[in-house]
């Protein structure tokens, strides 16, 4: 019998906050990448792997493309752009509720010359009525290689339209063997995801510059004989004043951050989790190559 198994890499790209990470989690059926209502949540590429008897789709979540103000932003944009030359399909994600923004137009300019199928995905379709006519994408029409006429209206939140989009994605994939074992969900170790789950809660519990000024390092993650998983992590901030904000009065905010992250971690690891959290200052780390490398935000891949 001929082997008709299909496999390939599918990038989710777009401006910040359109729902790229939410879509990846919905496709995988489990939370592996973090999401938040604040833009610039995702900082690295992360692969989410969906395997069935017939195909393996390796979804690649990327940081939202934006105008960067520091070296961290440069590295994030680099991580998002570097994916484009290396995948079988690109999904350009837009926010149906927001329409076509100036930031989307900048993304479009980057996508103009890519050489693989590009599908336009209007996410957050639950925010508009079915009658709403979405904007045309005139800047893309001149390119004959692309299939910009293929636009999808989906909702990561309700699941609407995802099956149809998945079918189209699989259709575009080449025949070939799986890249990962069928039970593997992501290319990142649990320790990395644990740090991200903590960062996600710091994003939720803080405002203004604080959420963007933090990085999380998991120093230790160990299963003890009682079946509990002990996680020792440090939240890094850029200024002394931010340290106080994270900790909060009588340690209340840090406690809330830990508690919320622990719930997600227990779901991910399927075991009780004990968290030990520290807060430290790394002055201006977002503009330091040394710290960006230490925190895993240095994009080594060629552009």
Ligand X SMILES: Nc1nc2c(ncn2[C@@H]2O[C@H](COP(=O)(O)OP(=O)(O)OP(=O)(O)O)[C@@H](O)[C@H]2O)c(=O)[nH]1
**Residues at the site binding Mg ion, with contacts judged by CB under 5 A:** 20-21, 41-42
Closest contact distance (angstroms) between CB of 124 and ligand X is 4
Contact between 81 and ligand X per CB under 6 A: no
Which helix (DSSP H) or strand (DSSP E) does residue 173 occupy? none
Would you count residue 75 as binding ligand X (CB under 6 A)? no
Residue 56 in contact with ligand X, rule: CB under 6 A: no
Nearest residue to 80 via CA among 46, 51, 113: 46
35 binds ligand X (CB under 6 A): yes
Min dist CB 158 to ligand X, Å, is 7
CB of 252 to ligand X, least distance (A): 24
Helix (H, G, I), strand (E, B) or coil at 51: strand
Alpha-carbon gap, residue 187 to 199, rounded angstroms: 19
Window of 39-47, 84-92, 174-182, 283-291 that interacts with ligand X by CB under 6 A? 39-47
Minimal distance, residue 213 CB to ligand X, in Å: 15
Q: Collapsing DSSP states into helix, strand and coil, what is residue 58?
A: strand
Q: Which residue has the tokens 């790209």?
A: 13
Point out which span in 33-41, 81-89, 131-139, 295-303 binds ligand X (CB under 6 A).
33-41
How far is residue 190 from each of residues 44, 59, 142, 283, measured CA to CA in Å? 15, 18, 44, 28
DSSP code per residue over 194-247 = HHHHHHHHHHHH--TTGGGG-EEEEEEEEE-TTSPEEEEEEEEESSHHHHHHHH
Closest-by-Cβ residue to ligand X is 64
Decide if residue 69 touches ligand X (CB under 6 A). Answer: no
* Greatest distance between any 2 Cα atoms in the chain: 67
The Cα 79–Cα 45 span in angstroms is: 6
Point out which span in 114-122, 124-132, 235-243, 271-279 binds ligand X (CB under 6 A).
Answer: 124-132
Q: Look at residue 155 and give the partner it binds from ligand X, Mg ion, none, a contact being a CB closer than 5 to 8 Å depending on partner kind.
A: ligand X
For ligand X, the closer of residues 19 and 258 by Cβ is 19
296 binds ligand X (CB under 6 A): no
The minimum distance between CB 143 and ligand X, in angstroms, equals 24
242-248 LR contacts (CB < 8 Å, sep 24+) = 242/210, 242/213, 242/214, 242/281, 243/279, 243/280, 243/281, 245/206, 245/210, 246/202, 246/206, 246/210, 246/214, 246/279, 247/279
Candidates 6, 11, 27, 41; binder of ligand X (CB under 6 A) is: 41
With CB under 6 A as the contact rule, which of the stretches 10-18, 114-122, 215-223, 236-244 interacts with ligand X?
10-18
Binding segment for ligand X (CB under 6 A), chosen from 131-139, 151-159, 193-201, 259-267, is 151-159
Pick between residue 41 and residue 201 the one whose CB is nearest to Mg ion: 41
Q: How many CB atoms lie within 10 A of CB 258?
A: 21
If one asks whether residue 213 binds ligand X (CB under 6 A), the answer comes out as no
**Count of residues binding ligand X (CB under 6 A)?**
23
Which helix (H) or strand (E) element contains residue 286? none
């Amino acid at each position: 019998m001929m082997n008709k198994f299909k496999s390939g890499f599918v990038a989710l790209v777009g401006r910040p906050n359109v729902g790229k990470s939410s879509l990846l989690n919905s496709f995988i059926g489990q939370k592996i990448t973090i999401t938040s209502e604040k833009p610039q949540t995702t900082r690295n590429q992360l692969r989410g792997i969906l395997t069935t008897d017939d195909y393996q789709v390796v979804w690649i979540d990327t940081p939202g493309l934006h105008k960067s103000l520091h070296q961290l932003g440069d590295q994030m944009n680099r991580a998002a752009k570097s994916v484009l030359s290396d995948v079988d399909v690109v999904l350009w994600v837009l926010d149906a509720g927001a329409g076509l923004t100036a930031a989307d137009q900048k993304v479009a300019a980057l996508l103009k010359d890519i050489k693989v199928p590009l599908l336009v995905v209007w996410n957050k379709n639950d925010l508009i009525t079915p009658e709403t006519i979405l904007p045309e994408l005139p800047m893309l029409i001149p390119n004959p290689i692309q299939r910009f006429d293929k636009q999808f209206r989906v909702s990561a939140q309700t699941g609407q339209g995802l099956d149809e989009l998945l079918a189209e994605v699989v259709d575009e994939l080449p025949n070939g063997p799986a890249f990962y074992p069928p039970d593997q969900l992501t290319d990142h170790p649990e320790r990395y995801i644990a740090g991200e789950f903590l960062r996600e809660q710091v994003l939720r519990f803080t405002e203004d510059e604080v959420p963007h000024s933090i990085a999380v390092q998991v120093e230790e993650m160990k299963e003890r004989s009682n079946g509990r998983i002990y996680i020792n992590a440090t939240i890094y901030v850029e200024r002394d004043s931010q340290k106080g904000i994270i900790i909060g009065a009588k340690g209340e905010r840090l406690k809330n951050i830990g508690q919320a992250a622990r719930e997600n971690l227990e779901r991910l690891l399927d075991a009780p989790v004990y968290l030990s959290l520290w807060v430290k200052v790394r002055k201006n780390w977002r503009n330091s190559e040394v710290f960006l490398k230490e925190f895993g935000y240095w994009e080594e891949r060629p552009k």
